[in-house]
Structure 1
């Protein structure tokens, strides 16, 4: 078993990648995407955090969070989100166990600075194009991209070509 150490930073920004069990394309079903969003919102109401960006692909998701000051409990939040979503799956998909819904762990990266934040925002929003699921980020329904277009962070046609900023960025999935 690996000795992976998580980097806990109170009030920090984090990039996350979560993958479904055996890369099952659970999120190709719109109802499952909505169930995931409900699980996230349920945890967000109880244990506040800012969801800066998110993209949900058929077998994985990426997101960027900002935790409250003096709070570094992202693992607990993900445990609850996975549990709440899995409980919904159990009710609707033949009583599966949680281990059959999600890969056991998740990948996290503590955001270092504004440049790192922007690179991860770009990575999240370009991911559907990278996986051949959309021609450009604005075409992917399960993404925060169009939210950020509306706030002036991106142009609507951004991502029609691979962003140059990906140089030096670790690929999560």
Structure 2
């Protein structure tokens, strides 16, 4: 059941967590397709990140039917493209996708932060334990370390984080981590 004019948090992973989008070129391909599909389906994209084996989106759909069509189109076109490059026609690239609606403004902003911290969570950008760590399932950012984490995330080109940094500044982005702390979704969460 999808609703019109509603925000959704989307997670999609590759089949068997294959690192199909390991190279920057592959991530660029998916990023460019994502931008085209967002425009094609009339979606509003609030936050996004692309990693080697999954992506996260926070978006708003105007029409309920658009979400499934959008994902099907993005997954279909990207699969055909990477399979052609790899000489693997018909290979299943995407496993599935999961969606949920943010339950509150706080939940929306926490998901926004979760998307942006993902490159650090999965080692796509380097951070030390002194910069961020988890304690009891909660991400901990020492006050004096926010700048180092920000600097690492601001260099990751396959996320909306650099855009928001240019638009709102470093302090606003760092303060958002403290205003809307990240709680681990599930013990052993892989995405």
TM range (shorter): 0.7 to 0.9
| Partner of residue 106, structure 2 | 115
Q: How many residues align?
A: 163
Q: Which residue of 1 aligns with 2:159?
A: 143
Q: TM-score, normalised by structure 1?
A: 0.81
> Corresponding residue for 2:84?
91
Please, which runs of 5 or more residues in structure 2 have no aligned partner? 128-148
Looking at structure 2, the residues matched to 97 and 162 of structure 1 have their Cα atoms a distance apart, in angstroms, of: 45
CA RMSD of aligned residues (A): 2.6
Q: Which position in structure 2 is the counterpart of 1:4?
A: none
How far off its partner does 1:153 sit?
6.9
| Structure 2 counterpart of 1:129, from 120, 132, 139 | 120
> Which one has a bigger Cα radius of gyration?
2
TM-aligned CA distance change 1:111 to 1:172, over 3 Å: farther
- Of 55, 59, 65 in structure 1, the residue corresponding to residue 59 of structure 2 is 65
CA contact (8 A) 1:107 1:172 kept: no
- Secondary structure of the 2:157 match is coil
Q: Is the 8 A contact 1:16 1:62 kept in 2?
A: yes
Deviates more, 1:24-33 or 1:47-56: 24-33
Stretches of structure 1 that go unaligned for 5 or more consecutive residues are 1-6
Higher relative contact order (CA 8 A, sep 6+): 1
